[in-house]
A and B are shown apart, each in its own frame.
Chain A
């Protein structure tokens, strides 16, 4: 069964450092999502791509976060500089189409900022 891949699974960094997370969606899935999940809460959408284009980044803190999906396949989410409050699980999901199809999630990257 095809799965969404994410790396690294765990990342520990110091505040003010830069971090990057990688996501490879299910093959053929045009829509890719990045979510952030703070401990004890449900995931919250950060950014959504349709192919290589950002179609919703209204909840992305753009002063420090950036996301790209240059070839419309895999994607990178970057934080620079990291702050203590960024400690969370970062989840990637994909679906074949934006409007109707089920989102499938990867295993996530657990970020700890010291």
Chain B
């Protein structure tokens, strides 16, 4: 699996955009980038994923660089409820097909 590198923590002011970076310089051509978040004591929540093109849904936007070696998750208007650990994952494959290898993630603190 390609490994990812994320800053361990970030702060963001409420109402501002939160931009969470992720480096995945060894990503392979057929590997997707997934983002999950985990609010304290809850299960990980799926946010968004992409392969090459930028993606947007009701939760966030995902910007992937042209060389695919890095990406940025954007929460356009962060709220206090967005405080969580955000995991950037390059989805790998085991013999059974699909596996997610979580790293340490970025702890995002949204402040009033």
A residues bordering B, Cβ < 8 Å?
Answer: 4, 6, 31, 41-45, 48, 50, 55-56, 58, 89, 91, 93, 95, 97-108, 110
Contact between A98 and B44, CB atoms less than 8 A apart: no
Q: With A42-B87, A48-B94, A56-B94 known to touch, is A105 a contact of B44 (CB < 8 Å)? A: yes
Residues in B with CB closer than 8 Å to A98 are 96-98
CA distance A55 to B105 in the complex (A): 27
Dominant SS among interface residues on chain B: loop
B60: min CB distance to chain A, Å? 14
28 A–B pairs (Cβ distance < 8 Å), ordered by A:
A31-B98, A41-B104, A42-B102, A42-B103, A42-B104, A42-B105, A43-B100, A43-B102, A45-B99, A48-B99, A55-B95, A56-B99, A58-B94, A89-B41, A91-B43, A95-B98, A98-B97, A99-B93, A99-B98, A100-B98, A101-B98, A102-B49, A103-B98, A103-B100, A104-B46, A105-B36, A105-B43, A106-B43
- B contact residues vs A (CB 8 Å cutoff): 34, 36, 41-46, 49, 87, 93-105
Instruction: Give chain B nearest CB distance to A112 CB in angstroms.
Output: 13
Cα A23 to Cα B25 in complex, Å, equals 36
User: Which chain A residue has the least Cβ–Cβ distance from B41?
Assistant: A110
- When A41-B104, A42-B103, A42-B104 are in contact, do A105 and B98 touch as well, CB less than 8 Å? no
Flag if A55 contacts B104 (CB, 8 Å).
Answer: no
Chain B residues, Cβ within 8 Å of A6: 43
Evaluate contact between A56 and B43: CB separation under 8 angstroms: no
Within the complex, what minimum Cβ distance (angstroms) separates A77 from chain B?
15
19 extra A-B contacts, CB within 8 A, seeds A48-B96, A50-B97:
A4-B43, A31-B97, A31-B98, A41-B104, A42-B102, A45-B99, A45-B100, A48-B99, A55-B97, A56-B99, A93-B43, A97-B97, A98-B98, A99-B97, A103-B98, A105-B36, A105-B45, A106-B43, A107-B42
Which A residues lie within 8 Å of B102 (CB)? Answer: 41-44
Residues of B within 8 A of A42 (CB): 87, 102-105
- Note all chain A residues with C-beta closer than 8 A to B49: 102
Nearest chain B residue, comparing its CB with the CB of A45 = B99
